[in-house]
Amino acid sequence: MNFRILSVSFLSVLLLASCGGGSKMGFGEEDNTPQEYETIVLQEQNTQLESVYPATIKGQEDIEIRPRVDGFIKQIFVDEGSAVRRGQLLFTIDSPTTEQAVKTAEAAVNSANAQVNTAKTNVDRIRPLAEKGIVSSVQLQTAEDSYQTALASKAQAQASLDNARASRSWANVTSPVDGVVGTISYRQGSLVNNGNVLTTVANTSNVFAYFSLNEKELVSLLNSLDGSTQSEKIKNMPAVTLKLADGTIYEEKGKIETIAGLVNSATGSVNFRAEFPNRGGLLRSGFSGNLIIPRYMDNAIIIPQSVTKTQQDKYLAYKVQGDTMAVQTIISVLPTPDGKNYVVTDGLKAGDRIVSEGMVTMADGKKIRVKK
């Protein structure tokens, strides 16, 4: 029994001795040998960034069509989505009031004509008598004054008739511009007045894209443009691109035309307007999309997004010092259009070497070896 115990103890000592002799570390010790990491050396290059803003599309002219007289819709001559020309008939309004006004004005003109004829007859009758001294010149002057008053009354009655006829013509509702008919809100037989919008005609030969920037973005944009005044800077703005709601890119380029003069105190934003040609009629008033403004940068530092870490709202990269240590560095970045890289605006410069792999295990001050 004692022999077996001694044999097991002797074998244990041999095994421990064998393990200790085959390793350079003692039991419980850690391997502190620096690990190898891939690195990259930063270089300057030219690039293009894109700023994307939600936009609303409106026609060059979006005209609300309202009746100018009260009445019932008698007939509708167009349908929703129809292309119309300026002056084309859209609706007719049955307006008894305007018809009655014309008849009343016509009667007033006829009465005025009769008064003019009577007054003229009196003048023609009295003038020879006054010339012969049979009647006084005062009677002739009175007759001539009555004649002039009758002429004035006739002119007034004629003006009323012209106005009544013009009002009656408003029962024919026509398009004020070339464009496309929007939603027709009322149908045949509906009672309408000038407070009702019958439809909208949108001139979409060109369209406007409305979007907004906050104050910081506005100042940054204007500072990046050539020119001493806002008008000069607008002229030097690059052509812009419109991305439609389905993600497709509109084939025509647009141009920013105006910047609002006031900052919205509620939102802190400034409104912009860009104009796009719409020869094919693809764009409709009311469309939504995204407006893309390109920004060209020379001598930029570009790094892959994969070589960074985020900590709260900060971006971190690991700069190599002396080929032996990774130092955590806070950087400022802008995303590139491809969504895979960043442009570094602060924190790194050309010639710096950064760690390009193993971000999960990387820590500030970690000892490393640069992989050759």
Q: Please, which pLDDT band fits residue 29 given cuts at 50, 70 and 90?
A: low
Dist CA 38 CA 326 (whole Å)? 12
Q: What is the pLDDT of residues 68-83, one digit of tens each?
A: 999 999 999 999 989 8
- Over residues 347-359, mean pLDDT: 92
Question: How do 366-370 and 35-37 pair as beta strands?
Answer: parallel
To the nearest whole number, what is the mean pLDDT of the chain?
Answer: 88
Closest CA to 313 of 329, 328, 330: 330
Output the six-digit token pair for 37.
């990491």
Q: Please, which pLDDT band fits residue 32 given cuts at 50, 70 and 90?
A: low
Q: What is the pLDDT of residues 141-182, one digit of tens each?
A: 999 999 999 999 999 999 999 999 999 999 999 999 988 999
Q: Please, which pLDDT band fits residue 18 given cuts at 50, 70 and 90?
A: very low
What is the structure's pLDDT at 14?
40
Q: What is the pLDDT of residues 298-335, one digit of tens each?
A: 899 999 999 999 988 899 999 999 888 999 999 999 88
- Over residues 231-242, mean pLDDT: 92
DSSP letters for 82-137:
-EE-TT-EEEEEE-HHHHHHHHHHHHHHHHHHHHHHHHHHHHHHHHHHHHTTSS-H
Residue 129, pLDDT > 60, answer yes
- Over residues 337-350, mean pLDDT: 91
Structure-model confidence comparison of residues 106 and 3, the more confident one: 106
Kind and range of the H or E element at 21? Answer: helix 2-21
Q: Please, which pLDDT band fits residue 19 given cuts at 50, 70 and 90?
A: very low
Closest CA to 67 of 47, 90, 46, 101: 90
- Over residues 122-130, mean pLDDT: 89
Distances (CA, A) of 196 to 52, 158, 187: 38, 31, 12
Residue 29 CB neighbour total at 10 angstroms? 9
Percentage of residues of the chain with pLDDT beyond 70: 91
What is the structure's pLDDT at 131?
86
What is the structure's pLDDT at 20?
45
Output the six-digit token pair for 190.
């509906």
Name every residue whose Cβ is closer than 8 Å to that of residue 30 and which is 6 or more positions away in sequence: none
Name every residue whose Cβ is closer than 8 Å to that of residue 20 and which is 6 or more positions away in sequence: 26, 27
Which domains are assigned to the chain?
35-47+299-370 (2.40.420.20), 52-60+206-297 (2.40.30.170), 67-93+172-197 (2.40.50.100), 96-170 (1.10.287)
